Structure 1
């Protein structure tokens, strides 16, 4: 959303248009926060608010570098990596293509928001929907940025990184194979299967900048929201409640799986939010990290808008069940407890 202001110019000259976008609004808010720092310190001079603000700042500061790196890579993929590159390396057989597409998510990372249009572009260029959907689920979950962020968020616990990688990759590939076996093209809207043109050479840097900026603003908003909720949970929810979730493993898994859907965090930042819930054991946190990039409320909306509601109402619930099962399987195999 932007505010446009027109100014008078000399006759025959084009009208100048000044746009205030979400980036300028965000910068203005940050500037006001800096100038009003003294007043804010007085407002937050309450133990509970100080604790909440500390958790909020810690989550944002730790996650922001990985978020920025992720959106830069996402913008580079959108601008400089044509979808036909993946089309050439994918086998013709759908089952084999699913495996290659899942591993391609490691080499070609992107956030959840960026993976949906990439998957649509793949379908529009003739890639099997099973492979495109596998890439859609794998790219935001098993890429190096997410894995490094997870390692930083959980220092000294490499089993969390390995379990997240295994659970997320298994989720993507199982969903691809399920689609190859039972999926139907009539569930996907015709516009999603329509062939899309590649980015022209002269427009690539512009596409890169616009994609990175849009993803940063959107994903940054979800990061701030997640950090606020995380800080609120640490302050408002009694520690004994999380202690109950720690002793009731099944309840903890269910609650964290639902929270992953509702919070709709960016995959580059969700590990820091999960790590901030110190009273919970690792297994529910692992379920949170596997389910979130696979399906949440914003992804459901994006999938419904891109591929159609008929697709989303079938794909999303199955993805949720598969993600929870794969997270639990990976957790038990790796030894996450």
Structure 2
């Protein structure tokens, strides 16, 4: 800045600003407002949008309407819990000092991982909510293995998910227990694997950048700014994942499901893949699994354990939050661990009934 310019000096003198206060900004449309408007239009005008894309009756029109229904359903199910996760993430950034988090968790990652898995019980949310929270924990100095354990445990072992599973399977009381054990084993197992083999360079630098301690008077401003940024970033990848899930939903023929009841191995494989591509919210997926009456309990359990751990929208959000290099390593390994955990727990709990 050229302080010898008299015009500039006059302009600065005429418009003084306090150094400790951010400049006032008038209302302007940002990416958050655009995202909110698009989601509201999609939710309220689903039929109208479908008629614009496919105005004629017929198979194509029915396919478009089915895809639009799936897209809106995925967004509507996940968005409230995404907002919950964003608010928790912003609260951690603004109000929770790094020293407090380090005091609560054990210093050794091997011991902190199961603690983080148990802490997932306290957060009633879906996988969308856990992604921004996990990143904020990393930025507060929590070990990545611990934060990732919480990311996997929170959407699968919380009371809301367990109760919804019990309601969906009233005649199979062992299913909620099997889901809890399989999901907790997946989260803790992945945490221990990452603590042993994971590398920091696999995670994007933006997700590991430490947050400075905030001044007392600016905490609410930090809360608002952090919530806005996290919602726009995570919401965009949620929309992308929901779009992929909608397209895949109409591509998979419904007749294939009837052939899975007689082959448990094939049923396990197909249900694991469907859990990834359908991208259902963890609070609602139990009712979808229970509706597959022809399937044994073991493939249904695989669907319920794999889905909250790895699906298309979650992979997209992880790639946007932690980087593509992270997602390419974390998602396939999570899929394998979740699949093996579900099979092992299912064989133990269900026995011959699985």
Q: What TM-score bracket applies, with the shorter chain setting the length?
A: 0.7 to 0.9
Unmatched 5+ residue regions in structure 2? 1-24, 50-55
Q: Is the 8 A contact 2:155 2:161 kept in 1?
A: yes
CA distance in 2, matches of 1:58, 1:305: 23
Shift of 1:67: 4.7
CA distance in 2, matches of 1:180, 1:168: 18
Q: TM-score, normalised by structure 1?
A: 0.74
- 1:201 and 2:222 are equivalent in the alignment: no
CA distance in 2, matches of 1:304, 1:221: 12
Shift of 1:163: 1.2
Q: Is the 8 A contact 2:237 2:317 kept in 1?
A: no
Shift of 1:35: 8.7
Q: TM-score, normalised by structure 2?
A: 0.70
Shift of 1:328: 1.0
Match of 1:76 among 87, 107, 111: 87
Shift of 1:102: 0.6
- 1:276 and 2:291 are equivalent in the alignment: yes
Shift of 1:131: 1.0
Q: Mark the CA change 1:110 to 1:135 in structure 2 (over 3 Å): closer, same or farther.
A: same
CA distance in 2, matches of 1:273, 1:220: 21
Q: Which has the larger radius of gyration?
A: 2
Give the structure 2 partner of residue 39 of structure 1. none
Unmatched 5+ residue regions in structure 1? 1-13, 37-42
CA distance in 2, matches of 1:146, 1:193: 30
Q: Mark the CA change 1:274 to 1:219 in structure 2 (over 3 Å): closer, same or farther.
A: farther
Q: Secondary structure at the match of 2:138?
A: helix
Q: Deviations over 1:18-54 (max 9, x none)?
A: 6763443444455556899xxxxxx9999xx7xx97x
Q: Is the 8 A contact 2:279 2:312 kept in 1?
A: yes
Superposed, 1:154-303 pairs within 5 Å as 154-197=169-212, 200-203=218-221, 204=223, 236-238=253-255, 241-303=256-318
Q: Is the 8 A contact 1:106 1:144 kept in 2?
A: yes
- 1:147 and 2:162 are equivalent in the alignment: yes
CA distance in 2, matches of 1:71, 1:17: 24
Q: Mark the CA change 1:223 to 1:162 in structure 2 (over 3 Å): closer, same or farther.
A: farther
Shift of 1:105: 1.0
Q: Is the 8 A contact 2:130 2:151 kept in 1?
A: yes
CA distance in 2, matches of 1:266, 1:232: 20
Q: Deviations over 1:243-266 (max 9, x none)?
A: 321110001101111122222333
- 1:106 and 2:134 are equivalent in the alignment: no
Q: Mark the CA change 1:147 to 1:75 in structure 2 (over 3 Å): closer, same or farther.
A: farther
Q: What's the C-alpha RMSD, in Å, of the aligned pairs?
A: 4.1
Q: Is the 8 A contact 1:175 1:319 kept in 2?
A: yes
Q: Is the 8 A contact 1:66 1:145 kept in 2?
A: no
